[in-house]
Structure 1
């Protein structure tokens, strides 16, 4: 599976790791992804999602069903 959030579509970013002497080495900044199961009351079943912490906060605020409607619509 890819390292992408299924809710927010966050992907890894690339940049430079800077030492004290300002030497640049390539670095990959990965999003904080978590595997989580959510209960959908209307369907009476669990779904598994790979989401970032920002996606979890959105689900806590708006609810899983409204988030899933917005994903399927757009």
Structure 2
């Protein structure tokens, strides 16, 4: 999983370089991955993830890592992100149950 975004599942795509003479050679389109540290508000911890720039913008737009993971579907997330999503959901359920 070296070239796959842990949050969005965006990975390497393949296509063609097309020259002016219309010669076609195979090439790879690599995702714009960044190693970032994101903070979980519910767990109060930092997590280092390899995330695409597009997913990082989406995390900021949705209001942080917790909100992004709770809204994201399980099949797009990596194993670490799925585990993190379950931990956040469990922690939020405990806090709402304790408040009620």
Normalised-by-shorter TM-score class: 0.7 to 0.9
**How far apart in 2 are the matches of 1:34 and 1:65?**
19
Runs of 4+ aligned residues of structure 1 deviating over 6 Å after TM superposition are none
| Aligned counterpart, 2:33 | 33
Q: Is 1:67–2:68 an aligned residue pair?
A: yes
Decide which structure has greater strand share.
1
The structure number with the bigger radius of gyration is 2
Cα drift, residue 67 of structure 1? 1.5
Unmatched runs of 5 consecutive residues or more in structure 2: 75-100
Aligned residue-pair number: 73
CA offsets per residue over residues 8-60 of structure 1, 9 Å max, x none? 10111101101111111110001101100012222221101111111001101
Unmatched runs of 5 consecutive residues or more in structure 1: none
Q: SS where residue 42 of structure 2 aligns?
A: coil
Q: SS where residue 43 of structure 1 aligns?
A: coil
